[in-house]
Chain A
């Protein structure tokens, strides 16, 4: 049986192990702190341990405070805001019941722009999942099997993930709007319009951008998960005559399924928040046929900020966010349940 060489563990696995150990240690310390209340226990808490506890308390105070302010408080405020509207008489937000939700539902029923945005959001998810995710998975397997130039490809594919989004958008924009038309013009001898400028090619070009930029992290995480597979299992399968295809479907896929199912579940959550990088490309002026729900909400807030920062429109956006949460939450739970129930299993 082959043993795993620690050096071969990738950074991700090691980081995951480190976080697990730290969390476990933290839970033990917390347990000790709150469950040894007796005098004897207190006395037994030596000076060193007390110092440790202070250290842990201080270290965890900031993230906990951060969590309380920027997650708990923000979300409570967001939920409350969705039931309010702005009152001029009181110059403040007042209770409005379900008024904002009714408007959101009306908009989804009658406003073709919102319906189009919903359609685009679903297309982005579907394409990211079925094209980006599947090809990412296959490519991760290619890298995992150390095929020719695997590491080079991995580096190239991961580059978009370490380049700041705005820079990447700019580079991509220049490529598709300037380089590509110039190259095509060499052959056609006509002036060509860029892929992001021509209305007919804008959506596909941005969709490709989404897949391309998401590809690197998908490959990296999947490769990380695959490298955690015990090589003795693979060796054994090979001795039994399993080919690559069999190895992929019968060993690799079942063993990394927990990672994949997290990917797919998180993807569902992203349906209503993904803005396809549209704000980076178009600012607040993206054409209607491109917008997604995530972009719509982001751009609306940005427009309010640009025009002086009136917050009167925020309750509507909060209600929209909450409505989307109401839709996406059961879907997410269902998908997670389905993936666990019907996904490949290891025995």
Chain B
């Protein structure tokens, strides 16, 4: 009898696990693509189904199919069907299997080695797609006109031709719950410094903040009282830390982030902090290796909140000294300040949940859900800010829909006042500088090389279609994020977006946008080594460390890790490939 029970249990387990595994791996293709219609031409599109999702593509598909409903691309066929393959495969995996895939078009992120794709002959020359005006869609301008000069030179750097079009823009940073900020008066009052003599004295913390929403607030990171979007928000790291102390002191939780990916998510934040401090010109020099670096650190006197940095003499890089002196870019003050910011956060466990924030079981969805649910569930501590990137709201959208069903309209993303936070600056001297945002994911759309002429024509038409102003706006309204091209949203478009989506768009409009790449051959040939992510390795005592892990696990100081960045920079520049 016990044997039978054992067999039954085993069969049950196998069935449960097996069905679970099947469910995990199964893509409900019928819901994604209709059955192939033999009377129409099929176009196959691979889409990275990460945080930005595929909804935007489904919408574009519907319009594209309608637009070309009566056009024949193949003999005996009329109209087109766009077959979408949403994938979670990383770009490297796609690249390795590219020759056996059937996708005509790819939308993916992580094209750090864009020039490598071209050198390997994997992408089609789509210069005509990019440079010819989109007249068939009622636009007088070309896609090229929507690109920045830097994008143009980079995309054409290999041989003067375009092989890809920028896809979505990805910005790391902080999300804040403006409803909570309003409710708890978490805004700095104007000239708060005159009321607080010691920021470490907890009995003075409350004196730094407004007591009603009508009270005058500080000017925020842009230093301008006339721009209300950031008034009262922390302008410096010191203010940010004071804000966190105050939030924790009044019984709330200042911050959350993905515990299972703390290194990655903090690196996104550090990239944003670093670029915002450096400014576009300085930040671009890191990748172009051509220009003057004014923020190189000579020495640091440790201290709070960011210590005292003594700057080295400016260094001018050009083709003559880029290979020998490029390593100096690894001792920019922006790298140190961003480390110091994260170090201070980690050193203050009262600002976060120590049991979750470094746990491998705490996913990005957990972090996003914690943040969203915290203000709706009375039993939970309200969380004021989330370390995330701009795609988070698109990612958590299904959960927000469930929340709306459960809590009513107030939980909807269109009602909740969640916003992209203008980042604080290391010191008071940096307040007022123009904001710089960095689009760090290198996401592109491209067409497979070697397609037959008729198929190439169809694929190119689709690439043009998804880059019309109508499509770009539709993408933004659908995902509440932006494409990395220049286009303006109307008031109608903005009114159909969430508060968060609008705040990201408005931040972009106010900022310089930088990209962590350049057309310098040294960069192109060594993109993997010189990408922004490779900066975040610290070489200390003959050992490579990831910076946030080194702060949390190894208890190294920000100053030590910063010194290790420079050592790593020396190693990188000693092993760069040249022709």
Contacts and interface: CB of A to CB of B under 8 A. Distances in A.
A119 interface: no
A10 interface: no
B543 A113 contact: yes
Given A88-B579, A163-B17, A177-B359, A285 B527 contact: no
A307 B114 CA distance: 10
Contact of B360 (A282, A310, A312): A282
Contacts of B119: 91
B2 A199 contact: no
Given A89-B579, A151-B2, A307-B92, A173 B112 contact: no
B17 A167 contact: yes
Contacts, number: 142
A289 B553 contact: yes
B17 A306 contact: no
Nearest to B3: A151
B160 interface: no
B380 interface: no
Interface string A160-192: 001110010010011001100100000000011
B528 A308 contact: yes
Nearest to A173: B361
A159 B16 CA distance: 13
B112 A196 contact: no
A167 B14 CA distance: 14
A249 to B, nearest CB: 31
Contacts of B358: 193, 197
Contacts of B13: 159, 162
Interface in B435-451: 442
A337 B110 CA distance: 49
Interface residues of B, number: 56
B68 interface: no
Nearest to A195: B359
Contacts of B543: 111-113, 116, 288
B108 to A, nearest CB: 9
A283 B95 contact: no
A222 B442 CA distance: 52
A312 B21 CA distance: 35
B579 A310 contact: no
A197 B355 contact: yes
B193 interface: no
Given A155-B10, A283-B261, A285-B261, A164 B21 contact: yes
A210 to B, nearest CB: 16
A110 interface: yes
A112 B544 CA distance: 8
Give the interface size class of chain A. Answer: 35 or more
Contacts of A281: 360
B354 A191 contact: yes
A305 B90 contact: yes
Contacts of B541: 112
A91 B524 CA distance: 13
B528 A307 contact: yes
Contacts of B9: 155
A307 B113 contact: yes
B549 A285 contact: yes
Interface string A83-98: 0001011010000000
A144 B528 CA distance: 55
Interface in B1-58: 2-3, 6, 9-10, 13-14, 17, 20-21
Contact of A308 (B110, B261, B355, B360): B110
A308 B20 CA distance: 31
A50 to B, nearest CB: 36
A77 to B, nearest CB: 13
B525 interface: yes
Between B6, B95, B355, B442, the greatest number of chain A beta carbons within 10 A of the residue's beta carbon is seen for B355
B577 A88 contact: yes
B549 A197 contact: no
A194 interface: yes
A242 interface: no
B263 interface: yes
Contacts of A199: 552-554
Interface centre among A111, A307, A313 (most CB of B within 10 A): A307
Nearest to A171: B361
B116 A308 contact: yes
B359 A196 contact: yes
Interface string A274-291: 000000011101011100
Nearest to B267: A285
A283 B542 CA distance: 23
Interface in A133-171: 151-152, 155, 159, 162-164, 167, 170
A309 interface: yes
Q: Which of A86, A167, A170, A312 has the most CB of B within 10 A?
A: A312
Contact of A191 (B6, B355, B554): B355
Interface in B514-538: 525, 527-528, 531, 533
Contacts of B136: none
A304 interface: yes
Contacts of B361: 170, 173-174, 177-178, 194, 196
B556 to A, nearest CB: 11
Given A285-B261, A287-B549, A308-B116, A196 B360 contact: yes
Contacts of A308: 91-92, 95, 110-114, 116-117, 442, 527-528
Given A167-B17, A193-B355, A310 B527 contact: yes
Given A288-B545, A310-B528, A162 B113 contact: no
Contact of B554 (A86, A167, A288): A288
Interface in A102-119: 110-113, 116
Interface in B61-109: 90-96
Contacts of A178: 355, 359, 361
23 contacts: A91-B119, A152-B6, A162-B13, A162-B17, A164-B21, A173-B359, A173-B360, A178-B355, A193-B358, A197-B359, A199-B552, A289-B554, A302-B90, A305-B92, A306-B92, A307-B531, A308-B92, A308-B113, A308-B114, A308-B528, A309-B91, A309-B113, A309-B116
List of 6 A-B pairs having minimum Cβ-Cβ separation, nearest first: A305-B92, A309-B92, A309-B95, A112-B543, A308-B113, A285-B263
Given A306-B92, A308-B112, A308-B527, 17 more contacts: A91-B120, A159-B13, A162-B13, A162-B14, A177-B361, A194-B355, A197-B354, A197-B359, A285-B549, A288-B544, A307-B110, A308-B92, A308-B110, A308-B111, A309-B91, A309-B116, A310-B113
Interface of B: 2-3, 6, 9-10, 13-14, 17, 20-21, 90-96, 110-114, 116-117, 119-120, 259-261, 263-264, 354-355, 358-361, 442, 525, 527-528, 531, 533, 541-546, 549, 552-554, 577-579
